[in-house]
């Protein structure tokens, strides 16, 4: 743990690094601050300050469509992040650590969802699900429809790739000897993986999961194509709303989401502090 | 966690030292089996929910557009591929490449020292700083982008700042610079996360040794830190470059839609022109070029960047 | 190794082509009027639509319901209280989903299996959707309130005889103007956008709709051409005009152009009537802004309410349309959206300010110059390409 301290640059280099870091945080949070401020603005026009009010927060609580969209967004984001993190990590391990038949094809397949333009993916997922429904109906006799499951399935498809890429960046430089040693040390492969490999790649896995969560929470195009009745997510709702210029309402929703996620992070930090010796 | 890394394991069976070749082959086969098993869920999933849908649009790219904008399957042609040679497409592609490359370079320049700084904090602070990068992105993308509109506007804080500095009001909104700022803002985490993952796992003992070995910190960085973090650089650049190329909301909102990029152009084909064959063929060519470039970049970048 | 990737792709493609090919030949055999090749003749309602349009719908009577209503609408385009009222009155629940543009709605519905009962397409899109067989014929027996519709909208060019659609709201496309910058004597003309002499005072502070048809229509009207022209020369001329103007524009924007105008970022904005009124309503000094319908003519539009061919609940959908066409409900719609109502009977319930506003209800002579946008077939591609080229 102390190793980290040893390689911290010293002197002016350290100061430049620190300055850059704080500059980046200012850059990241400047628009966020602005959107929070305007969520308390009484005016419908964002950017023209009237008086402070809770108008948009009240409207948010009264607006069943917004709350429903928020709920859908969270369900899809959490579910797709969980599944894609597991599959994506396995994919990264397979690609980085093993040779197996079809590895190169798999390699390409994992990159394609990152490369494909949004709309193209949206159109093809819609066409695919419609075809698939016909087959499912013919074979199983049940008639599925578009909705939260199809949105989640599509999100997983692109999230797997993002997770895999981030985890691979982590794995690429790790010494495989470590894991081999662990394999000798522990009784089972699974134990070796759990005790050695997983902790080693954890920062990559977490990074990938964070990225997946973010992508899922923000996706508009793919979602709107594969959504069915009643499964509108927040970004899709917002996308339609800006046409009529009602963004302060969304500012309010965003502010609530920001505050909630900050509380969540703080909470988990506190829990971590309580349980001894986690670091 | 770093301490785990620096404890060297003992008794590792170094591969290939006077081991029975039959045993070795068996071990190899076992490894291949395990690898395939690990790959299987992703392979099945992406095969079913990505490759098959992709094949459908591939077929569409050879179809024709009826005069009402319907896609006629059954009248196959290469017409939509022919349209790719229109100079309009070339111009848009060139501009997109430029902007995406610039955005990637800036993200790397800013993101690398940033990720390095985070990775060298104590574990608890690290986690906090990292999540701090992501929190802004759990608000809504459109609302964030519209907030940038205010920041960059002619009455915005940036303009007032330059005015105070005696440079006169600046108007960045609706310029290519605004698009660039928006892209960097939107994709910086895509650069930071893999960089962090790569830097954090470095054997800092090595860096320390390099410090002692080389006269300057810069040399130590150039010869040890940078090569060790390269996988993160490669992954991060790809995650920034490719989505930048396909971005269309940012150019529309911050560029006033005057900086048409490939992303917007493809969207237009699918929606307002209702020319699905052309949209499909365009996507396919872009994807093929990108996939090829990515593969080459990984091969080359992994070794000699 | 790369060969393997190719083989895999080709194999998958051929599998898909096999299924698709079948469909393609169906399409060819079915002639022009079938239910959308991009979508799907085979999914549920696709097959049913031909029969359903004639026989199935005939079963619906006034006030019938056959399940909960699923509505696919523009965001913020109906007073939630109206939905609540409908729900109470008929004992069904209403699910509302939203789309940001006609094109996105079309792409989605064309895919098939959307599960929606009702859509709210604009004029030209109604024409396209009828052509694609996506809309169901309306059953007049279930729509007694159809008589409330203003004569002017009862036989629109995009849907002769209103067989498939009922008008929902209408409005115009024009210019939002900041009088403080442009001056009280601003001409009611597209020159506010296109004439370099007129625009000299507010160079770089104008916005145009980021929509090929709307933007080109403005230029075509200014040049004195038909806004639905397919003449390459006229379109080229219009594109040149836009290209020339592009340098003097702040942005092409179809979303928050109202906000840009109100925050002083722009002084003249090209956009839809109702958006401006909603924005002006929030201003400290509403008299500072005005909405202009240029005298050269331009676009009038009407959004309609229609039932999808594969709607799961056609009877509830009919009942809902009848509910919207009711005089008081039609007025409630307009009082909430600031768009004009095509419902003649609703007028007595509409707020006077709206009714007397010439920008919302333009006088006859202005209205006479306005036209609906129509689908131009193959020329749509030309519109798109020329516009993309002109923008940058």
- φ and ψ at A192, to 5 degrees? -60, -45
Distance CA B17, CA B1 (A): 31
Q: Domain A40-274: give its CATH code.
A: 1.10.3720.10
Closest CA to A24 of C358, B113, C386: B113
| B72: confidence class by pLDDT, cuts 50, 70, 90 | confident
Q: What is the pLDDT of residues C145-175, one digit of tens each?
A: 999 999 989 999 999 999 999 999 999 999 9
Q: How far apart are the first and last CA of chain C?
A: 42
Contacts of C43 in chain A (CB under 8 A): 130, 133-134
Chains within contact range of chain B (3+ C-beta pairs < 8 Å): A, C
Q: Which of residues 178-197 of C touch A (CB under 8 A)?
A: none
Average pLDDT of chain B is 84
Please list, residue by residue across C5-40, b when 16 or more beta carbons sit within 10 angstroms of its beta carbon and e when fewer do: beebbeebbeebbebbeebbeebeeeeeebbbbbbb
Distance CA C336, CA B57 (A): 42
Q: What is the pLDDT of residues C90-123, one digit of tens each?
A: 999 999 888 878 888 998 898 776 889 999 999 9
pLDDT at A228 > cutoff 80? yes
- Highest mean pLDDT pick, B7-16, C313-322, C336-345: C313-322
CA distance B33 to chain A (A): 7
Of A63-67, B236-240, C237-241, the least confident: A63-67
Q: Domain B85-304: give its CATH code.
A: 1.10.3720.10
| B228: confidence class by pLDDT, cuts 50, 70, 90 | confident
pLDDT at A171 > cutoff 50? yes
**Averaged over B15-33, what is the pLDDT?**
75
> Do C113 and A127 make contact, defined as CB atoms within 8 angstroms?
no
Of B158-167, C224-233, C378-387, the least confident: B158-167
| B301: confidence class by pLDDT, cuts 50, 70, 90 | low
Q: What is the DSSP letter of C177?
A: E
**Sign of torsion, CA C73 C77 C81 C86?**
negative
| C6: confidence class by pLDDT, cuts 50, 70, 90 | very low
**Averaged over A11-21, what is the pLDDT?**
87
pLDDT at C19 > cutoff 70? no
Catalogue the long-range contacts made by C146-149 (C-beta closer than 8 Å, 24 or more residues apart): C146/C322, C146/C325, C148/C325, C148/C326, C148/C327, C148/C330, C148/C343, C148/C344, C148/C345, C148/C346, C149/C325, C149/C342, C149/C343, C149/C344
Q: What is the DSSP letter of C138?
A: P
Place of tokens 């501009």: B95
- Residue C100's pLDDT is 79
Closest CA to C21 of A272, B60, A68: B60
The interface pTM score, or ipTM, of the predicted complex is 0.85
Q: Select the more confidently predicted residue: C241 or C375.
A: C241
Q: Does A43 touch chain B (CB under 8 A)?
A: no
Q: Domain C171-300+371-391: give its CATH code.
A: 3.40.190.10
Chains within contact range of chain C (3+ C-beta pairs < 8 Å): A, B
- φ and ψ at B103, to 5 degrees? -60, -40
Q: Retrieve residue A274's tokens.
A: 């309580």
Contacts of B189 in chain A (CB under 8 A): 210-211, 214
| B79: confidence class by pLDDT, cuts 50, 70, 90 | confident
Question: Which residue of A227, A241, A247 is in closest CB contact with C97?
Answer: A227
H/E stretch holding C88: helix C80-90
C44-170+302-360 and C171-300+371-391 share one fold? yes
C119: which strand partners? Answer: C72, C306
- Residue B302's pLDDT is 57
Query: What residue spans define the domains of chain C?
Result: 44-170+302-360, 171-300+371-391
> Do C251 and B256 make contact, defined as CB atoms within 8 angstroms?
yes
H/E stretch holding C166: strand C165-178
> Do C37 and B73 make contact, defined as CB atoms within 8 angstroms?
yes
Q: Domain C44-170+302-360 - what CATH class?
A: alpha beta
> Do C98 and A43 make contact, defined as CB atoms within 8 angstroms?
no
Question: Which residue of B54, B198, B238 is in closest CB contact with A173?
Answer: B198
- The answer to whether the beta carbons of residues C344 and C164 sit under 8 Å apart is no
| B116: confidence class by pLDDT, cuts 50, 70, 90 | very high
Average pLDDT of chain C is 84
Distance CA A99, CA A104 (A): 10
Of A36-45, B60-69, C16-25, C357-366, the least confident: C16-25
Distance CA B250, CA B230 (A): 29
pLDDT at A77 > cutoff 90? yes
- Residue A7's pLDDT is 58
Q: Does B20 touch chain C (CB under 8 A)?
A: no
- Residue C3's pLDDT is 39
């Amino acid at each position: 743990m102390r190793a980290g301290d040893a390689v911290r640059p010293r002197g002016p280099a350290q100061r430049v690094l620190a300055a850059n870091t704080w500059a980046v945080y200012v850059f990241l949070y400047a628009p966020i601050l602005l959107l929070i401020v305007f969520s308390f603005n009484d005016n419908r026009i964002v950017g023209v300050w009237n008086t402070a009010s809770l108008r948009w927060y009240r409207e948010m609580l009264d607006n069943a469509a917004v709350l429903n969209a928020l709920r859908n967004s969270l369900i899809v984001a959490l579910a797709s992040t969980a599944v894609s993190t597991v599959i994506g990590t396995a994919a990264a391990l397979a690609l980085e650590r093993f040779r197996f038949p079809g590895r190169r094809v798999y390699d390409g397949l994992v990159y394609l969802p990152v490369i494909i333009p949004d709309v193209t993916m949206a159109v093809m997922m819609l066409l695919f699900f419609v075809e698939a429904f016909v087959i499912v109906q013919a074979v199983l006799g049940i008639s599925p429809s578009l909705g939260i499951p199809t949105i989640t399935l599509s999100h997983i498809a692109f999230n797997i790739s993002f997770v895999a890429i981030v985890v691979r960046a982590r794995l690429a430089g790790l010494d495989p000897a470590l894991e081999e040693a662990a394999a000798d040390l522990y009784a089972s492969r699974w134990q070796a993986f759990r005790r050695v490999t997983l902790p080693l790649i954890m920062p990559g896995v977490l990074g990938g999961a964070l990225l997946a969560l973010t992508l899922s929470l923000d996706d508009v195009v793919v979602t709107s194509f594969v959504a069915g009745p009643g499964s509108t997510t927040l970004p899709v709702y917002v996308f339609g709303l800006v046409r009529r210029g009602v963004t302060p309402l969304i500012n309010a929703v965003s502010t609530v989401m920001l505050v909630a996620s900050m509380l969540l992070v703080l909470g988990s930090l506190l829990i971590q502090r309580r349980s001894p010796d986690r670091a | 966690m770093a301490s785990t890394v620096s404890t060297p394991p003992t008794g590792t069976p170094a591969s290939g030292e006077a081991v029975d070749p039959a045993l070795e082959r068996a071990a190899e086969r076992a490894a291949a089996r395990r690898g395939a098993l690990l790959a299987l869920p992703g392979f099945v999933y992406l095969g079913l929910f990505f490759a098959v849908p992709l094949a459908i649009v591939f077929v569409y790219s050879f179809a024709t557009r009826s005069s009402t904008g319907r896609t006629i399957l059954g009248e196959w042609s290469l017409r939509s591929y022919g349209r790719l040679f229109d100079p309009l497409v070339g111009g848009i592609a060139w501009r997109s490449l430029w902007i995406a490359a610039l955005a990637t370079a800036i993200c790397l320049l800013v993101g690398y020292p940033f990720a390095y700084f985070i990775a060298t904090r104590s574990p608890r602070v690290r986690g906090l700083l990292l999540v701090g990068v992501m929190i802004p992105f759990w608000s809504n993308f459109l609302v964030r982008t519209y907030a940038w509109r205010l920041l960059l506007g002619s009455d915005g804080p940036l303009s007032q700042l330059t005015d105070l500095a005696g440079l006169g009001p600046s108007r960045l909104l609706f310029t290519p610079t605004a698009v660039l700022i928006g892209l960097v803002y939107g994709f910086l985490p895509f650069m930071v996360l893999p960089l962090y993952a790569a830097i954090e796992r470095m054997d800092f003992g090595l860096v320390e040794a390099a410090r002692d070995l080389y006269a300057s910190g810069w040399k130590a960085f150039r010869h040890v830190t940078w090569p060790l973090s390269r996988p993160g650089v490669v992954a991060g650049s790809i995650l920034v470059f490719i989505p930048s190329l396909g971005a269309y909301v940012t150019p529309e909102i911050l560029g006033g839609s005057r900086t048409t990029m490939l992303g917007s152009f493809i969207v237009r084909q699918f929606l307002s022109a209702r020319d699905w064959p052309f949209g499909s063929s365009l996507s396919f060519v872009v994807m093929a070029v990108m996939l090829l470039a990515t593969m080459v970049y990984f091969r080359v970048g992994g070794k000699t960047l | 190794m790369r060969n393997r990737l190719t083989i895999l792709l080709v194999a998958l493609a051929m599998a898909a082509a096999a299924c698709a090919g079948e469909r393609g030949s169906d399409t060819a055999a079915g002639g022009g009027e079938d239910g959308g090749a991009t979508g799907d003749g085979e999914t549920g309602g696709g097959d049913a639509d031909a029969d359903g349009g004639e026989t199935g719908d005939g079963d619906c009577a006034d006030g019938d319901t056959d399940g909960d209503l699923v509505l696919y609408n523009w965001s913020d385009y109906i007073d939630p209280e109206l939905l609540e009222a409908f729900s109470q009155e008929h004992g069904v629940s209403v699910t509302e989903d939203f789309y940001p543009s006609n094109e996105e709605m079309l792409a989605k519905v064309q895919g098939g299996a959307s599960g929606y009962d009702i859509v709210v397409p604009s004029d030209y899109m109604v024409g396209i959707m009828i052509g694609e067989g996506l809309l169901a014929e309306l059953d007049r027996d279930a729509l007694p309130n159809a008589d409330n519709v203003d004569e002017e909208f009862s036989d629109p060019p995009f849907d002769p005889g209103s067989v498939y659609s009922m008008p929902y709201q209408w409005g115009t496309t024009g210019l939002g103007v900041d009088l403080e910058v442009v001056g009280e004597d601003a001409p009611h003309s597209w020159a506010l956008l296109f004439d370099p002499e007129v625009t000299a005072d507010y160079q770089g502070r104008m916005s145009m709709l980021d929509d090929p048809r709307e933007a080109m229509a403005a230029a075509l009207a200014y040049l004195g051409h038909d806004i639905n022209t397919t003449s390459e020369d006229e379109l080229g001329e219009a594109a040149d005009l836009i290209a020339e103007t592009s340098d003097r524009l702040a942005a092409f924007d179809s979303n928050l152009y109202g906000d840009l105008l109100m925050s002083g970022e722009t002084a003249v904005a090209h956009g839809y009537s109702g958006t401006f009124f909603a924005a002006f309503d929030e201003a400290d000094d509403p008299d500072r802004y005005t909405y202009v319908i240029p005298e050269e003519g331009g676009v009038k539009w009407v959004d309609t309410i229609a039932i999808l061919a594969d709607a799961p609940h056609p009877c509830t959908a009919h009942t809902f349309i009848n509910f919207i066409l009711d005089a008081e409900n039609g007025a409630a719609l307009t009082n909430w959206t600031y768009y004009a109502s095509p419902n003649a009977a609703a007028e007595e319930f509409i707020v006077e300010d709206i009714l007397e506003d010439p920008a919302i209800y333009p006088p006859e002579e202005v209205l006479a110059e306005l036209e609906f946008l129509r689908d131009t077939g193959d020329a749509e591609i030309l519109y798109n390409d020329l516009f993309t080229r002109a923008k940058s």
